[in-house]
Amino acid sequence: MPELTEHHRRHIIELLERGEDLPPDYKHLLFPPERQEYELVYAGKEREEDILAETMAVPLQPVKTFGNGGEDERHNMLIFGDNLQAMKTLLQWKAKGRLVNPDGSHGVKLVYIDPPFATKQEFRGSQDERAYQDKIVGAQFLGFLRRRLVLLRELLTDDGCIFVHLDWKKGHYVKVLLDEIFGETRFENEIIWHYPDNFQGNVNRFPNNHNAIYLYSRSSHTRFKRVAVPLKKPRKRDVRVWDKETQSLVAARDDNGNVIYREFTHKWADDVWTIGQSGVTKKRSAEYIGYPTQKPEELLRRVIESATEEGDIVLDAFAGSGTTLAVAEKLGRRWIGIDCGKLAIYTIQKRMLNLRENIGNKGKRLQPRPFTLYNAGLYDFSQLKRLPWEEWRRFALLLFQCRDEPHTVGGVELDGYRGADDVLVFNHLLDGGVVLDYGFIDDLHNQIGGKVGSRFFIIAPAASVAFLEDYIDKGRTRYYILRIPYSIINELHSRDFEAITQPMDESDINAMVEAVGFDFIRLPEAECEYLVKTPEGQMISEAVIRIKTFKSRAMVKGAIQKGNLETLSMVMVDYDYDGEVFTLDAVFYAADIEKRGWEIHLPLESLGKQVMIIYMDIYGNEYREIKTPADFRAAEAQGGANA
């Protein structure tokens, strides 16, 4: 690590005197990381302190509680959003005592993550160019994962542990990251998951039939239990006793001289777990969900049983198909699942409401304990408007990273601070509804002008602001308006808002996704035709959805410039919607819909009394329609069946 020399000092002083920014590399000179015997170095590596301080927390907005949860905050949690921002909020919950295990410890007892193993890339060039691009992608992946591992470590209880599931491509790099973040002495196991039923055909190397799972403890207080592995067939083994005469172990015998046998129905798991994948890859299997990278329930049973007791909190920050959550539910653990994909959220929702009590999803139906779906980073503004004033005020402060510290300046009651600057949450509910106009700013400045600093922040609903400016100057104070919905003001934010993006193709489902900031749900514009068609040469008719118009209304940069149908991510269908809960039956990706001329074909015989159809844009916004079979047949009756 380079040291701060006299030349560096003079250069820094010159730059500061000229009002110029310091080169990015200087942060390691000014704030050198703790020296280690070795570490993994890559482009853009951040200090842990910066990750913890600069990660933006976003409020968790309850969307729906499944089951009768009442006011009990201890119900299970399913969170839609970027896991980094959601975990920063959970870290605040931990500090406030809102994540408590039965033994009184604060935080999460067990973390299991199965992160994306690599990013999708389509770079073409020379061999050297591709090698360089691979390194760039690798650095991005390591930075992406390291930020999350730092927060996950902080979320763990003192006696908690983490299982990190990886494949052979990036596992060795991540092992070094884990050594840095948790400490090499906290490395407990490299578990090999061997799946012998993964046939790869005639490959020009040894077939890859395993993944690695790295187990790290939070501290020396972590304790693990042995995990039983059922035997396919019970085994008999003679009972051995020590024979003094022969000084050896010999078979014990009963009074009749018969050898005494003991039957074994299980063995204890070691660090090689042979668990087949057929249960999650074959459509007729009880476990099959149809979600890419689904993991077997037996795998997660061993993980959860080894490191937790009943009632302990289990976290999966890349929840995917929901295997961790399903097994945690079956084993009586509390759970928190986070995923940035709407498809994952709907898949998990359906899975949790259709559980079977045994591992492998067999046995009797299991009614799950109450769980709540939350939005983190993409909010329903209509729900916020219905909040009582005090809840609205708190949400507004959280949204813009302000401290909730009421105080008075010049006789005016203010709500908190943003950094060192004063913050006022505009009460738009007064007297049945008021607006923030120039007169309000004038009156405010007359009371507090000269008593506050150069910056003052006012948080208000966008619809309640009567002018377009993002800030207004009065004397030496600039009054910034932080609008809800989100308004990007570059002077306030080091990075522009980056939305979570939803996949347009199945291969994109497990891509790395990061979001910064927040946005509000905006219904896309959609126009579709519903009809019945009989494919040429076939006797069976199909229900057909023909998408004519689809445009996103998201406020994300570049969204408005995109043309018709360019922002469609996928269409999800519940064939027999019960009027309460959307149950995902089929998903159609935009890339596949486009190949069929922007048509979706559904089996007519599968349609129930009413069908729920969700059209989703690439930013996670949904347009929903409910149709009956008659709505499809109406077009047929009007002569448009084969249009």
Does residue 254 register a pLDDT over 50? yes
pLDDT of residue 346: 94
Give the pLDDT mean for 345-357.
94
- Banded pLDDT at 1 (limits 50, 70, 90): very low
pLDDT of residue 300: 97
Q: How many CA atoms lie within 13 A of 621 on its CB side?
A: 24
Contact 165, 112 (CB under 8 A): yes
Residue in the block written with tokens 């994962």:
145
Residue 18: Cβ-neighbour burial (10 angstroms; 0-12, 13-18, 19+): exposed
**pLDDT tens for residues 509-553?**
777 777 777 778 889 999 999 999 887 777 788 999 999 999 998
Residue in the block written with tokens 């949400």:
395
Give the pLDDT mean for 86-108.
95
pLDDT of residue 135: 53
- Banded pLDDT at 636 (limits 50, 70, 90): low
Query: Which helix or strand (DSSP H or E) is residue 355 part of?
Result: strand 355-358
Backbone φ, ψ for residue 501 (5° rounding): -105, 140
Strand partners, 263: 236
**pLDDT tens for residues 143-164?**
899 999 999 999 999 999 999 9
- Please state, rounded to an integer, the average pLDDT across all residues of the chain: 86
pLDDT > 70 in the chain, percent: 89
Residue-wise DSSP of 225-284: ---EEEEEEEEEEEPEEEETTTTEEEE-B-TTSPBPEEEEEEEE--SEEE--SHHHHSTT
pLDDT of residue 487: 46
Give the pLDDT mean for 578-600.
94
Does residue 493 register a pLDDT over 60? no
Contact 172, 107 (CB under 8 A): no
pLDDT of residue 599: 96
Helices and strands: H and E segment counts in the chain:
15, 31
Does residue 119 register a pLDDT over 60? no
**441 compared with 238, residue with greater pLDDT:** 441
pLDDT of residue 348: 96
Does residue 624 register a pLDDT over 80? yes
Backbone φ, ψ for residue 215 (5° rounding): -110, 120
- Banded pLDDT at 38 (limits 50, 70, 90): low
Distance in angstroms (rounded) separating the CA atoms of residues 527 and 548: 6
Does residue 132 register a pLDDT over 90? no
Residue 178: Cβ-neighbour burial (10 angstroms; 0-12, 13-18, 19+): buried
- The reported pTM is 0.82
Give the pLDDT mean for 119-127.
47
Does residue 606 register a pLDDT over 80? yes
pLDDT of residue 15: 80
- Banded pLDDT at 492 (limits 50, 70, 90): very low
pLDDT of residue 2: 56
- Banded pLDDT at 488 (limits 50, 70, 90): very low
pLDDT of residue 227: 92
pLDDT of residue 486: 54
Does residue 123 register a pLDDT over 50? no
Does residue 47 register a pLDDT over 90? no
